[in-house]
Amino acid sequence: ITMPKERRNPFLNLLYPCKYFYNKKESVMYSLLIVDDEEMIRKLIRKYAEFEGYSVAEAADGMEAVMLCREKSFDLISKSVS
């Protein structure tokens, strides 16, 4: 995964799949769901995502994530591997 030239923050590599966090042309705020059992990881990702203009929701486990996905759709879901 490579980052656009305008964005040089290495901590955001995980959060750059295909599109910008904030689409300035359409003025649309994209939403992100962070699923991780470690609170510090969720806080770190939230901090950088909100800085870039993402709307962020968090879930501590899979069941909480499923419940959030039933209520709202997300543009990107970041989950831990373990």
State the Cα–Cα distance between residues 31 and 50, nearest whole angstrom.
10
Per the document, the length of the chain is 82
pLDDT band at 78 (very low <50, low <70, confident <90, very high): very high
State the Cα–Cα distance between residues 27 and 16, nearest whole angstrom.
18
For 32, the 3-state DSSP assignment is strand
Model pTM?
0.66
State the Cα–Cα distance between residues 38 and 47, nearest whole angstrom.
15
The pLDDT tens digits for 5-57 are 454 555 555 555 444 444 455 557 899 999 999 999 999 999 999 998 899 99
What are the C-alpha distances in Å from 66 to residues 19, 20, 27, 51? 24, 25, 28, 26
